[in-house]
Every structure is written in structure tokens, then in C-alpha cells.
Amino acid sequence: MYLHCPNCTSAATVEILYGYPGADLEERARHGLVALGGCVIGESEPTHRCLECSHQWLRPFLNPNHLTQDILCMLDDLETANTTAANQIENLFLSSGRGNAEHIPVELVDVFAEIHHAWANFSSLLHDFGETVQVYDDSGRVINEFATADAFDVMQKQLGQLYGLLGALANASLQLGQASKAGGVDEIKTASALVQEARARLNERRKQARALVIDAANL
Ligand SMILES: [Zn+2]
């Protein structure tokens, strides 16, 4: 709910309201709930003030929902969930390969449920942006803007890619598990290189997703 100050990271920040303040607004300002910015508002006037360090900054919003939403923050949460899932898949298939490779790890169902949950959550938050998603840098400046509908299309493709890469990781991990149980040094080296490659490609996809959000030209 709180916007952190880009200068000192304090959460003690208030919105600056412009225009002639009525008695009610003056009362709220006295209690430190809002800051009054004066009667004239220009496009570059600051929108927020920090009560700790008095820093003021501009953060334009399309609607009040944006007060709690930051697309890069959302993406970080999503990618953290994806990385956790990839690590779980790697471990599950590695141990499956070392043990009985015919046995499908049942925990896999939970891993995919978690992935689905994280993407559904991201998707639901994306809806709240309305027609346009704006991307801000740390000081609240808009650094990118794109149609929400385009973002949904990109998300679908990204999810398809993610599943493909997770499949490759599962396969490589299974091979590595089998090689480490019964294979020679060469087989272990080959399978190990496959796991490294699958990890690198997952990492690359994550970087691409972030680049897409920061630079709309890639959308
Ligand atoms: Zn501050």
C-alpha cells in the first residue's frame, strides 16, 4: 500500500494534493496524511513527498490501482516462482534417474500447480492496469509503455517457452541421474553439460522477459 521514498526508502510518504484545499483537506494535511502542493499544477509537479527526508518526486498514475502495482516488481515475483520450479524439477528428475527412472515423480503435479498459480496471479494483476501498462524507473519516471493486450500475447508465448525449457531440463537431469548411478565419466560429463545448457537457456529466457518489459520496441 505504501510507496517507498526513492531517496531514503522510507515508507513514510504521502501524496501531494494540488488545488485550493477545503477545511477537510487542511485537517488531513495537519495530521500528515497528505501534503498540500499549492493551487497550480503543472505536468512536472511532484506527486509524492517523503516525511523522513522531505524528498519530493513525480509518479504519474493511470488509476489508483497503480499505487500498489509495479510491473517490474510483479515480474520479479513471477520469475522467482519460475526459478524455484526449475530447481525442484531438476532435483526431482535427478533423483528419479538415480533411482527408478520408470517412476514418475508425483511431486511434479505440485510444481506445475505452483507455476500455474504464479502466472495466474501475474495475469490477474496485469488486468488491473487497464488498457495500458506503464513501466517506471526507481525515481518514478515512465520509461516504457505498452498495450496490456500485447502483454498478454507475449505472456502466452513466454509460458510456452518456459514449459519447453523445463522439459529439456527434466530430460537432462534424468540423464545425469542415470549416468551418475551406472554410467562412466564421459556419460556423466555429457549429461552434466546438458543440464548446464538447459539452465543457461532458462536464464536467457528470464533476461529476455525483463528486457521486453523495459523496452517496448521488443514487444
Ligand atoms: Zn525519503
Q: For ligand 1, a single-atom ion, which residues have Cβ within 5 Å?
A: 5, 7-8, 10, 50, 52-53, 55
Would you place residue 41 in the very low, low, confident or very high pLDDT band (cuts 50, 70, 90)?
Answer: low
Report the relative pairing of strands 48-50 and 13-17 from DSSP bridges: antiparallel
| Ligand 1 geometric centre to CA of 140 (Å) | 14
Task: Supply 107's cell numbers.
Answer: 511431486
Q: Across the strands, what pairs with 142?
A: 136
pLDDT cut 90: percent of the chain above it: 42
Give the three-class secondary structure for 29. Answer: helix
| Ligand 1 geometric centre to CA of 13 (Å) | 8
Residue 105 near residue 174, CB atoms below 8 Å: no
Instruction: Provide the 8-state DSSP code for 3.
Output: P
| Ligand 1 geometric centre to CA of 139 (Å) | 12
**pLDDT tens, 84-110?**
999 999 999 999 999 876 777 888 999
Domain covering 71-218 in this structure, CATH number: 1.20.120
Q: How far apart are CA 195 and CA 200, in angstroms?
A: 9
N-term to C-term CA, the chain: 30
| Ligand 1 geometric centre to CA of 151 (Å) | 33
Residue ranges, CATH 1.20.120, the chain: 71-218
**Does the global pTM surpass 0.75?**
no
| Ligand 1 geometric centre to CA of 102 (Å) | 58
